[in-house]
Amino acid sequence: MNIHGQWLEDKISKNDAGQTIEDYLKTKWRIPKKMLHQFRMSKNVHINGEPLPWKNTLKEDDTVSLPFFETEPNEITPHNVEIEILFEDEHVLIVNKPIKIDTHPSSEHDQKTLLNAVAAYFQKTGLKTKPRHVHRLDRDTSGAILFTKHFVASSVFDQLLAERKINRTYIALVQGIIKKEEGIINEPIGRDRHHATRRRVSRTGQAAKTSYRVLKRNTVKNETLIELSLETGRTHQIRVHMSHIGHPLLGDTLYGGNRLKEQQQALHAIKLSFIHPFTHQLVSAVAPPNQQVFLPYSNLFSY
């Protein structure tokens, strides 16, 4: 696989030979129907340098040129700060988000977000596409976030997220001592009518399921270190669920947690894993905790 300007070039292997161009785009690249139609109408997929009918059969060593890296108008203002890269290939970039930075702008004047920082990295490395975040983390939550490098990857990874094929593992410090070794919180989450940004467990809310297990109990500090995984991705899900069972996150004052000196919430997305839809390899990106509150427990994070 090579990149030449806007083109990603893929040499047809023995396994891919014998497929029609259309089947190859569907199976290897998982390109959705709407995008397939756009490619077909624009005649922008080339085989050995020329657009061919999509019912043609591919042969071993044919070169397929895909317009994945077409120059896009990029309205994202670059923010030149260093980012910690956990994984990178032609299609995606996974970075370790620090606290006190938003994932993306909330207004046109907000230009110091992680998305702006990734836009600066794209500019520095010569990518003329715009970054897109597949998911997000709250401002005061740190950890692994996935960005895509081209519009096809964005569409495919959005689909993987909806299908729950991107696994996210979190660690958190919560108040109090959790007695059970592990548990599942299966409670729907909805908006709080009395607070614009707050969520709450509500019978009329959206289904939400959180699994947790205890990593360490600290009776001296009256806190418990836990690992969590989500089967759904509701806004503030971990924060709402842990508060609901009487163990709010340290620093999470919105949901009953005691304030920390660093004005943060003790929640970190420590691991992001998925089967890569294009290479079919397991990608497992581990984000070293970058919050001071987790340092006393650093020997427990052997992912």
Average of pLDDT values for 74-86?
92
Per-residue pLDDT, 75: 82
- Between the alpha carbon of residue 283 and those of residues 29, 115, 134, 269, 280, the distances in Å are 17, 22, 15, 15, 9
DSSP per-residue string spanning 60-90: TT-EEEE-TT------PPP------EEEE-S
Chain centroid offset of residue 47 CA: 33
Please determine, for residue 82, whether its predicted confidence score (pLDDT) is greater than 80. yes
Which entry of 16, 62, 102, 138 is annotated as an active-site residue? Answer: 138
Average of pLDDT values for 143-151?
96
Per-residue pLDDT, 301: 87
Write down the pTM of the prediction. 0.90
Q: How confident is the model at residue 111 (pLDDT cuts 50, 70, 90)?
A: confident
Residue range 211-226, pLDDT digits in tens: 999 999 999 999 999 9
Residue range 227-281, pLDDT digits in tens: 999 988 899 999 999 999 999 999 999 999 999 877 789 999 999 999 999 988 9
CB 51 within 8 A of CB 238: no
Q: What is the fold of 169-268?
A: Pseudouridine synthase (3.30.2350)
Per-residue pLDDT, 188: 96
Question: Rounded to whole angstroms, how far apart are CA atoms 297 and 142?
Answer: 16
Strands 282-286 and 209-218 turn out to be unpaired
Per-residue pLDDT, 277: 92
Q: Look up the CATH number of domain 2-66.
A: 3.10.290.10
DSSP per-residue string spanning 148-189: ESSHHHHHHHHHHHHTT-SEEEEEEEEES---SSEEEEE--E
Per-residue pLDDT, 252: 94
| Amino acid identity, position 57 | T
> In the chain, what are the domain boundaries?
2-66, 169-268
Give yes or no: 138 in active site. Answer: yes
Mean pLDDT over all residues of the chain?
Answer: 92
Per-residue pLDDT, 123: 93
Q: How confident is the model at residue 5 (pLDDT cuts 50, 70, 90)?
A: confident
Please name every residue paired with 223 in a beta bridge, in sequence order, or none if there are none. Answer: 175, 218
Question: Rounded to whole angstroms, how far apart are CA atoms 22 and 4?
Answer: 22
